Structure 1
Amino acid sequence: MDLSIGTALFLIFSSYLLDAKTRNYTIELSVPNGGPWGEWGPIEFCRKGYAKGFILKVDQWERFQIFKDDTSLNGIRLICTDGSEIQSAVGPWGKWTKTETCPEGSLISFSLRVQKERGIFLDDTSANNIRFSCEHGAVLTGHSTDWGTFGPWSAVCPQGAICGIRTKMEPQTEKGDNTALNDVKFYCCN
């Protein structure tokens, strides 16, 4: 089969672009208590290195807004060791909180705080907070609401550290009970 130089260059260039978006990962980290609603967003990876910290997008509870639809956790952004920031699907509500960074090393496991389904007449929020463990033993907890309970810890990256993220987000509805972020998966790279 005879390939022209243009075709060969196109194949090489498109292969390079595909590799820039994805990385080889060793394991997918998940927890069993994620919320049931929504669709999985894209998987995003640090270009190089690992995740050393995170920022949360949170719709904070407001005391005097009785009929407000609370969504709590709307997004998770990872801070990579190469200086880049990555995120998967993010909800429209809330503001980004302060950055939490490992004092040494990178993120290696996580635990998700989730409020169980509350029934048809009460406001559901689903995922509300997250905490991560770092390579050298530190635990970082996000600045979010305290609804629900933290579930079990995920597995620990067997080698390397967390390098990618994928979030499960309920699409925004005009009427009804929005929950925003429901679940998350992280990816470990060597």
Structure 2
Amino acid sequence: MFSQSCVSQSCVLIINLCVLTVSSKKSQYSVREIVETLHVDNGGIFGKWGQYDYCAEGTYAIGYDMKIESHRGSGDDTSLNGVRLVCADVDGHVNGEVIESTVGKWGSWADETMCSSRNGSPQFLTSFSLQVEPYMFFKDDTSANYIKFTCRDYVGGSSNELAKPPGNGMYGNWGSWSRSCPSYSAVCGISTRVEGHVGIGDDTSLNDVHLHCCTEGRVASEPFGK
């Protein structure tokens, strides 16, 4: 039979061995570093935040798509239901990867809108703005109606606006632009705040968006948490 001290020492040995093994394994990999969270000040107030979805390591958002419910007339309008990001590597090569967080049940995808190259260099999404209808009390609420972005070189420099025509939704006003991703980074992840179907009541669907900016090349000492 082992004594209590022997058992304790054995446990410590086993734990230390596990930590060394995991630490050695982690040190072999270069991981993505999140350097900025982008948000706006006019997002809607309804719904729950979905989990972040990320472009694969070494790729960034180079375009986007929107899921929009068209105007229903006398029915319950929800307008913007989802935002999807298109990923590409730093050379601008698109491999078909798209990412999305929570998406509402109404509407259809409007087709992708992509950043263009400038002087032969690809540009990536680096900031955004939301068109949001404020809370209407006893009238029909739609909350977020449209989203637009800015595109910029990964290394930095000036940016230009990217908005899918016609450039705005039916309801609400544009808020201020979010902060921009720092130099040597671009948008890499998305989380959306979406109100689920409320049944007998007023549906709003997508209310707000958060984005992460990433850079590459850091060797991890600790795994990144949300």
**Which residue is equivalent to 1:112?**
130
Q: Which amino acid aligns with 2:159?
A: G
Q: Which amino acid aligns with 2:65?
A: I
Q: For 1:183 and 1:24, how far apart are their aligned partners in 2?
A: 23
The 3 A distance-change label for structure 1 pair 161 and 76 is same
Q: For 1:81 and 1:130, how far apart are their aligned partners in 2?
A: 20
**Which residue is equivalent to 2:190?**
165
**Which residue is equivalent to 1:60?**
70
Task: Within 5 Å, give how 1:14-53 maps onto structure 2.
Answer: 23-48=32-57, 49-53=59-63
Task: Report the TM-score when normalising by structure 1.
Answer: 0.85
Task: Report the TM-score when normalising by structure 2.
Answer: 0.72
Larger-gyration structure (1/2): 2
**Which residue is equivalent to 2:219?**
none
- Name the SS of the counterpart of 1:81 in structure 2: strand
1:88 aligns with 2:101: yes
Q: Which amino acid aligns with 2:130?
A: L
**Which residue is equivalent to 1:132?**
149
The 3 A distance-change label for structure 1 pair 179 and 23 is farther
Q: For 1:35 and 1:111, how far apart are their aligned partners in 2?
A: 13
Task: Within 5 Å, give how 1:70-89 maps onto structure 2.
Answer: 70-82=77-89, 83=95, 84-89=97-102
Shift of 1:174: 1.4
Q: Which amino acid aligns with 1:76?
A: V
- How many residue pairs match? The answer is 181
Structure 1 residue ranges, 4+ long, deviating more than 4 angstroms after superposition = none
Q: Which amino acid aligns with 2:189?
A: G
Identical columns (%): 40
**Which residue is equivalent to 1:153?**
177
Q: For 1:43 and 1:130, how far apart are their aligned partners in 2?
A: 18
1:54-106 CA distance string (max 9 Å, x none): 000000113xx41x110000000000004210000000000000110000210
Structure 2: gaps (5+ residues): 1-12, 90-94, 118-122, 153-157, 216-226
1:112-140 CA distance string (max 9 Å, x none): 000001111x1000000011000053311
Shift of 1:146: 2.7
Q: For 2:82 and 2:187, how far apart are their aligned partners in 1?
A: 17
Structure 1: gaps (5+ residues): none
- RMSD (Å) for aligned C-alpha atoms: 2.7
**Which residue is equivalent to 2:218?**
none
1:37-70 CA distance string (max 9 Å, x none): 01000011101311000000000113xx41x110
